Amino acid sequence: MKFHKEGNFILLISFLILAGINVTVILLVNLPWLHYLLITAAVILYGLIVQFFRNPTRTSPTDPNYILAPADGKVVVIEETTEQEYLKDARRQISIFMSPLNVHVNRNPVGGEVTYTQYHPGKYLVAWHPKSSTENERNTLVIKAKNGVEVLFRQIAGAMARRIKWYVKPGDEVVSGQEFGFIRFGSRVDVFLPLDAEIKVKIGDKTRGGETVLAEFK
């Protein structure tokens, strides 16, 4: 199992802090049961931190008409809306909620040219809150697919997330399913699709970033 580069510093610091606490307690407190309790708690906590930064290899479908899930998580919204920031037209929105237990690597839903990126500072409402899409810390990206259709998707920080990362910029050519970013801890990703796209998921479905087909261009 590979681990994401965003976790390197946190994993090191977490290990040093947990190890320091345990060593200090073992040296100063002569209570074996407390030693075992703290060591067990430290191992469990560190295991949770480690699993959050896992970066599994994914095999993406190659059909250029497929629009892939940009994140692991659960589909919590499928609705028609108006995208106000960039597209400014009617779109089908699909939102994926990412719990702290999900892989938090974000992947391109389509291949093509990156035409827009814009970071917005903001609040930290819970990621499933309807206003989180417009009021939370977020980063908007747009890719023009090979068929000329632009797909907008948005990384949204949640109540626990405090850092959004993206590694692409306008003008970059990207591949469908390829990693483009990362969000630390619970969060959400919205995707805005053409109204005529054929939706392949339903509310409550679990997604795997870069593998699950959300929709298909018509």
**pLDDT tens per residue across span 23-40:** 999 999 889 889 999 999
Is 187 labeled as catalytic in the residue annotation?
yes
| DSSP one-letter string for 9-34 | HHHHHHHHHHHHHHHHHHHH---HHH
Q: How far is CA 168 from CA 9, 37, 206, 208, in A?
A: 22, 44, 26, 21
**pLDDT tens per residue across span 57-102:** 899 999 999 999 999 999 999 999 999 999 999 999 999 998 888 8
- Does residue 116 or residue 125 have the better pLDDT? 116
| pLDDT interval class at 53 (50, 70, 90) | confident
Spatial CA neighbour of 93 closest among 101, 105, 102, 84: 84
**pLDDT tens per residue across span 195-210:** 999 999 999 999 999 9
Task: Specify whether the CB–CB gap between 103 and 54 falls below 8 A.
Answer: yes
| pLDDT interval class at 54 (50, 70, 90) | confident
Catalytic: which of 60, 133, 176, 187?
187
Q: Which two tokens stand for residue 136?
A: 């939370």
